[in-house]
Amino acid sequence: MKRVAKWASNLVTIVLFLIFVLVLFLVISSKASGGEPQIFGYQLKTVLSGSMEPGIKTGSIIAVKPGGDMTRFKEGDVITFQEEGNILITHRVTEVINNGNQVMYRTKGDNNNAEDLNPVLSNNVVAEYNGFTVPYIGYFIDFAKSKNGSVLLLILPGVLLLGYAFYTIWQTLRLIENKGSTTIAADESIDVKQ
């Protein structure tokens, strides 16, 4: 029983610490990159619409690779591009248009009935989608990027970890106190027998 309790205690400590480190990394990464967390050169973007369902669900996060030659894409590739008003959209390329020295892409969301109205200039493409999607985590990341979310997600795991540390110390002190009183009782019984 004691072995299971010790194992559970160690597991809780490790999980709380890992959550704290992960949240700290996500918050610092999103602030340092100007809004979107980055991992190994990939940016994590939150999907806010259902235009690419069922492959990419609303509220998912996707990993996109920024940079490189933005004229390299072909029909069927999924790109993230900037629309008017700094809105980012991730849609599939349906046609590549070579217009002299300018490359443009016709795009369409997989769940949309028609292609997007305006072709996308290669200069407006910011990244390529690589197929990595995690459903529903985008809601959490959007919350983490908010001011209140950043504060809560940095403070809450830290407070839980600190509270658990105090609980562990209290349990250890109680155990030491119980062992001390058992030793005193044993010494007193020895004195009585003598």
CB–CB of 82/96 below 8 Å?
no
Residues 36 and 63: their CA atoms lie apart, in Å, by 10
pLDDT band at 143, cuts 50/70/90? Answer: confident
Catalytic: which of 33, 49, 122, 146? 49
Of 176, 110, 140, nearest to 44 by C-alpha is 140
60 in catalytic set: no
pLDDT in tens, 16-37: 778 777 767 766 666 665 656 6
Q: Is the pTM of this model over 0.95?
A: no
What domains, with CATH codes, occur in the chain? 1-31+151-194 (no CATH), 33-145 (2.10.109.10)
Residue 158 has a CB neighbour count (10 Å cut-off) of 14
pLDDT in tens, 73-108: 999 999 999 988 788 899 999 999 998 888 999 999
